[in-house]
Amino acid sequence: MDTLKNPRIQGLVTLSLIALVWGTTFPLLKLSLEDLSPGLLTFGRFFCAAIILMPFVFPLDRSLVKDGVLLGAVFFYPSPPKTLG
């Protein structure tokens, strides 16, 4: 168990898990595009991310919400074409 306390081992394990999760999204997106439009798929991804990240942004203030909506729109607009290709 002492090897898991080694920062180098922790880093390698974490990086491996991130690479696994990142790599599995591409085949899953390809399968999802058979049944969903790129816009709907992008909306679902953004919605899930918003729900997951919501506990980290409280308390909300008006400027944070305004900036978040602006950034969401900026990043949402080019996402469906990138999903296709």
pLDDT at 16: 93
Same domain, 80 and 53: yes
pLDDT greater at residue 3 or residue 56: 56
Radius of gyration of the chain, Cα coordinates, nearest whole angstrom: 17
17-67 tens-digit pLDDT? 989 888 887 888 888 888 888 888 888 888 888 888 888 877 778 888 888
Same domain, 2 and 15: yes
Three-state SS letters, the chain: CHHHHCHHHHHHHHHHHHHHHHHHHHHHHHHHCCCCCHHHHHHHHHHHHHHHHHHHCCCCCHHHHHHHHHHHHHHHCCHHHHHHC
Same domain, 46 and 19: no
Does residue 76 carry a pLDDT above 80? Answer: no
Domain that includes residue 17, residue range: 1-32
Same domain, 82 and 45: yes
